[in-house]
Structure 1
Amino acid sequence: MADDNRPIQYMRYAVGEIVLVVIGILIALQINNWNEARKDKIIEQKVLKTLRSDFKSNKAQLQDNIDETEKMVSDISQLFELFRMTQSELSLIPKDSIRTGFGGYATFNPSDGALTSLLLSGNLNIITNDSLKNKLTNWPNLVNDAKEDENILVEKITKDLAKQELEYQSYINNPKFKLNRLAMFDDLILQNTFFDIRSGANYQIYLYGELQNEIEEILNLIDNEIR
């Protein structure tokens, strides 16, 4: 076409070819981006469903922990009724009916496999909801704060209380040792230890409740994103 002295037609043809190539490339890129976005969305949905399962499990475990810790508080409160009695009053109560401790304590061991994997892999950006992303990022910090107080409470029970109770308890019947279990109710240090444990338990119930509230917000955000 250039040899036939038709440069304008040639330029139009060349520009048209270039435009068609560019359009083709843009369309290909758009299709590729769409496919990648679709794949990411599929992955995000799978991740969200796994996270939902984990957080529902965590919420149920926290409720069990609250129930167990409330029972501990109730048991200790009943012990305080005995601490208020004199030895004469205590002697009138059948020994078999006097409880000198509480059943046990609870610890929170969250199901966090999906979230840990997400955070360690650096793939948190697969979550498109910024509010949810921020809450997921902050969740381990909230758990760690609650676990720190939980560990203090457990140490108070397993070390301080156990050491003091040993003076009044015997796990093996041995006639060589004459233990007065009722004497523990005259022990001011032991009473204060029980008081510290009850205070720590009440605070732990509060912390568990705060974690439950956070989980509820996370679950609501997840449910809004699941299709």
Structure 2
Amino acid sequence: MIKLFRNTRKQLLTENKFTKYLFYALGEIILVVIGILIALQINNWNNRRIEKEEEKKSYRNIKRQIEDDRDELTKEKALNNYLSATYKYANKIIRAQDYTKSDSLALMAMGLSQYSDFNSSGTIYETLVNSGNLKLLKNDEITSLIQKLETTYIRTNKLENIHWEIIINELSPALRGVVNYDAFKAVKPEKLFEVEMQNIFVESIYLTSAKDSVYSKALREIDTIIKRINTELGTVKD
């Protein structure tokens, strides 16, 4: 093709058809420009296609992580609710001063050492920023929701840390010499009915209630993010 153009130009110059040569040269330049523009357009289209695929890949990774978080949260929420119900029953026994249930109360007091402990699959937003993939996500609402979710995770972890501190600083000293851990029996049952032990149960009741509220909030936020991601991926089901 290039050889054909060269020969045509040479023929026109040889025949002194300068005007025709100018028109021909202009047409040739226009064809070259059009070719370049088409090549650029194809390249831009290909780059956009690659970016879109990378964006979808990021959305799928985020979705997979928060689905794992949802499973973990659901499990920890169930444990937290079970423990909360146990603490309320124990407080009821203490209020009634029902010494016939001393051994049951001893078991429940030992159960205060258990607590729900949610661990997220990772810091999604921070990972996106550090990897440079944040700029791939075109939906600002989703990135904002992810930030909001991670703030909720931080609140969850703070409550869990408080719970752990109660176990270490208050529960352990209160149960030492009061309950036989090996026999699961109350050695000094009267201590289980005193206000110090009751206060630990009450603290745990309020704490598990607060944790349940935050767990529920996180689960709602996860469901919202998944719906938004499904929309981006075009996988919304009727």
Query: TM-score, length-normalised on structure 1?
Result: 0.83
Q: CA deviation at 1:167?
A: 4.3
1:161, 1:193 within 8 Å by CA — same for their partners in 2? Answer: yes
Provide Cα deviations, 1:22-81, integer angstroms capped at 9, x if missing partner: 211111111111112222222223332232222112112111111111111111111111
Name structure 1 gaps, 5 residues minimum: none
2:177, 2:188 within 8 Å by CA — same for their partners in 1? Answer: no
In 2: Cα distance, 1:171 partner to 1:154 partner: 19
What percent of counterpart residues are identical? 27
> Match for residue 21 of structure 1?
32
Amino acid at match of 1:73: S
In 1: Cα distance, 2:157 partner to 2:79 partner: 16
> Match for residue 36 of structure 1?
47
Q: CA deviation at 1:224?
A: 1.1
1:168, 1:180 within 8 Å by CA — same for their partners in 2? Answer: yes
In 2: Cα distance, 1:113 partner to 1:201 partner: 24
Q: Aligned pair 1:182/2:229, yes or no? A: no
> Match for residue 74 of structure 1?
85
Structure 1's 96 and 140: CA in aligned 2 closer, same or farther, altered over 3 A?
A: closer
Provide Cα deviations, 1:182-216, integer angstroms capped at 9, x if missing partner: 32212x22222221121111001000100001000
In 1: Cα distance, 2:217 partner to 2:123 partner: 21
Q: CA deviation at 1:109?
A: 0.8
Q: Aligned pair 1:158/2:165, yes or no? A: no
> Match for residue 207 of structure 1?
214
Greater RCO between the two (CA within 8 Å, min separation 6)? 1
Amino acid at match of 1:85: A
Q: CA deviation at 1:110?
A: 1.2
Structure 1's 181 and 138: CA in aligned 2 closer, same or farther, altered over 3 A?
A: same
> Match for residue 8 of structure 2?
none
Structure 1's 130 and 71: CA in aligned 2 closer, same or farther, altered over 3 A?
A: same
RMSD: 2.6
Amino acid at match of 2:115: Y
1:68, 1:106 within 8 Å by CA — same for their partners in 2? Answer: yes
1:161, 1:194 within 8 Å by CA — same for their partners in 2? Answer: no
> Match for residue 120 of structure 1?
130
Q: Aligned pair 1:194/2:201, yes or no? A: yes
> Match for residue 72 of structure 2?
61
Structure 1's 94 and 137: CA in aligned 2 closer, same or farther, altered over 3 A?
A: closer
Provide Cα deviations, 1:103-143, integer angstroms capped at 9, x if missing partner: 62111111237665433211112223221122234433331
Name structure 2 gaps, 5 residues minimum: 1-11
In 2: Cα distance, 1:153 partner to 1:94 partner: 26
Q: CA deviation at 1:158?
A: 3.1
Query: TM-score, length-normalised on structure 2?
Result: 0.79
SS in 1 for 2:117: coil
Amino acid at match of 2:39: A
Q: CA deviation at 1:164?
A: 1.6
Equivalent residue runs for 1:124-139 within 5 Å: 124-139=134-149
In 1: Cα distance, 2:102 partner to 2:207 partner: 29
